Structure 1
């Protein structure tokens, strides 16, 4: 990032912070993709809360960004296991923020498995969670009785540009890797599994590039949406897998199970929009498959009479090229700051919440003043 770009970003976040700094700041823990531009957002979180630790998602860490953040805030190792066990999670939070009021800033529902127990046992108070993704939104929504408020920005209008552009970046990175092996998109039918915001963006760009796209989604409403937009909608999932030369997984909830891989067409490429642990059941793949690294970030899985190529180890393929969506990500990050203030006010009931439309309008107006030049 150029120095003038960094200065503009810091100025933008400083103005956002003045709008959303709570009267009584809470402590916070931040799960984030620690990408090159992210230190500016980290500083903003620290300006509106007492930031106790940054927990970068392990597959998306810029070493330079990490070094910069570590000068002022502890950077801890994040894993699903850390927040799968209530005792381990409690010990972690007690070590960093014992007795404090805490806001959890989540990306993908990491805190969801322990939130109920943590809320009851933590020596301080869990004020609530701000969740950034659709996958995480669903994880919190599935909890029978949430013990605290969860402010979700996953379905915010301010996130729509990001979702669209993430889909575009997934197609870019997928095509770049394929071209590295001498393959191209054209003439290779594609199957998009999941027709949510990311999947629909991926499908539209592939179609614009002249690729024949088939869509599979378990939601009948989304299937009708895909059909209305001119896509083929698969009735038979196995047949759709067998016919696809490219499979793009965009559900956030295990698109391919172990028994699905043998149905893939020979030479098919597989790419995902999130981590392999969320999107693919690679552990369920039959042991007869051998794995060969055929090129950087491309692994061939092969058994007698069957083979396919997995891109970036099954992790989000767009992070290989920075996953950049330009300044639109700063809209979402500003709404996360607004969510911190909402929770710090301590006037929300337990359950799912969204930002106030007036706050979104204020964020959009500020953003336009800085980035629509």
Structure 2
């Protein structure tokens, strides 16, 4: 990153950390995408906590950024298995931050399966979790009882800007990968599964690119919202995908299961907005379908009489092109910093929480001062 841009970002995060100071010595374990803008966020985290470890999301690692971060912080490999087993998760936490006050910064609910054990048996204190994504929000909300505060920024108004641009970037990357093999999407039938903030942006962008868009969501309220915006809606996944030449999955909670793939139209393109294990049960198909790479980030799944294409191995397709959403990403990063310091002050009881409106407004004002010029 060029030094003037680094100085600008550091000045922005300096204002954020000044506005939201830590309440004591805290260690953070940070699950994150390691993209080119991420070091500025990690510097802000380091200004308010001791960064005990950075755990990069496996499919969103820029090599140059990784090397830069490794020169400053401890970097550990991340997988679902690492925290799925409570004993292994506790051993990891003890090895990394024994006896310390810890905040777990999460993207996708990685710590959720073992959170009860970590909160109860860790030699230090788990002050809480900060969760960035909708699929992670759902994982924590599904727990019977939260043993510590979980502050979710997934549904923050500050994330609306990012989500809208993520939807656009998903369509951009999908279109680029399809065009790279000499095909186009214009005038095709498309299906969007999930009509949350990102799904809504995808559907609107596809329509603006002259695709005919069908929407499916398990929530009938969201189906009504989609219908009111002029989209065709369906009550089942099978009906939604059967005529679609493009299927984009944006639920964060397994949009397509094994039996759903048989309903895909021959030649359909399939893409996701998040990790493949969160959105698509592709692993169950590996013994049934032959997988043939047919282009950059494009795989053909084929059995007798049926075939379809999967983009980016079912992972977040926009990460193929860096998932850039401009300076709006720093709004959410600033809220993660603020949520971390709020947990260090003990501002929340066990349970699922959002940051207060006054904090959103303070972050927005700081952002406007630095980037609305």
TM-score class, shorter: over 0.9
1:304 aligns with 304
Alpha-carbon separation, structure 1, partners of 2:336 and 2:357: 14
CA distance in 1, matches of 2:118, 2:47: 25
Alpha-carbon separation, structure 2, partners of 1:182 and 1:263: 25
Task: Find the aligned partners of 2:332 and 2:258 in 1 and give their Cα distance.
Answer: 35
Give the whole-Å Cα distance in 2 for the aligned partners of 1:245 and 1:110: 33
Question: What does 1:15-54 align with in structure 2 at a 5 Å threshold?
Answer: 15-54=15-54
Residue number in structure 2 paired with 1:315: 315
Q: Deviations over 1:123-174 (max 9, x none)?
A: 0000000111111111111111110011111111101000100010000000
Partners of 2:103 and 2:128 within 8 A in 1:
yes
Q: CA deviation at 1:62?
A: 0.8
Q: Could you tell me which residue of structure 1 aligns to residue 266 of structure 2?
A: 266
Question: Residue 117 of structure 1 aligns with which residue?
Answer: 117
CA distance in 1, matches of 2:70, 2:237: 46
Match of 2:89 in 1: 89
Deviations 1:171-209 (Å, cap 9, x if unpaired)? 000000010111111132001011111111000000111
CA contact (8 A) 1:259 1:285 kept: no
2:108 aligns to what? 108
Cα deviation 1:101-120 (Å, max 9, x = unaligned): 10010111110000011100
Counterparts of 2:347 and 2:304 in 1: how far apart (Å)? 61
1:284 is matched with: 284
* CA offset digits 1:198-248 (Å, max 9, x no partner): 111000000111110000111000000000000000134323322000000
Pair 1:245–1:341, CA change in 2 (3 A): same
* Cα pair 1:164 1:201 within 8 Å, conserved: yes
- Counterpart Cα distance in 2 of 1:262 and 1:155: 33
Unaligned runs of 5+ in 2: none
Tell me if the contact between 1:130 and 1:336 (Cα under 8 Å) persists in the aligned partners.
yes
User: Alpha carbons of 1:287 and 1:96: their partners in 2 closer, same or farther (altered >3 Å)?
Assistant: closer
Q: Deviation at 1:338?
A: 0.8
Answering whether residue 196 of structure 2 is matched by residue 196 of structure 1, we say: yes
Aligned residue number for residue 331 of structure 2 = 331
Secondary structure of the equivalent of 2:242?
A: helix
Q: CA RMSD in A?
A: 1.1
Q: How does 1:140-219 map to 2 (within 5 A)?
A: 140-219=140-219
Give me the TM-score of the superposition, normalised by structure 2.
0.98
1:356 corresponds in structure 2 to 356
Q: Is the 8 A contact 2:135 2:278 kept in 1?
A: no
How many angstroms does 1:287 deviate by?
Answer: 3.0
Task: State the number of aligned residues.
Answer: 373
| Structure 1 unaligned spans of 5+ | none
Counterpart for residue 67 of structure 1: 67
Instruction: Classify the secondary structure of the residue corresponding to 1:248.
Output: strand
Following TM superposition, by how much is the alpha carbon of 1:263 offset from its aligned partner in structure 2, in angstroms? 1.4
How much does 1:357 deviate? 1.5
Tell me the distance in 1 between the aligned counterparts of 2:25 and 2:12. Answer: 20
Q: Is the 8 A contact 1:30 1:55 kept in 2?
A: yes
Look up the match of 2:6. 6
Report the Cα offset of residue 17 of structure 1. Answer: 1.2
Cα deviation for residue 337 of structure 1 reads 0.8
Asked whether the 8 Å contact 1:258–1:286 carries over to 2, the reply is: no
Q: CA deviation at 1:262?
A: 1.7
CA distance in 2, matches of 1:239, 1:349: 43
Q: Retained in 1: the 8 A contact 2:31–2:55? A: yes
1:91-110 alpha-carbon deviations (Å, 9 max, x no partner):
11111111111001011111
Aligned 8 A contact 1:259 1:284 in 2: no
Provide the secondary structure at the position in 2 that maps to 1:255.
coil
Q: For 1:292, what is the secondary structure of its paired residue?
A: strand
Query: TM-score, normalising length from structure 1?
Result: 0.98
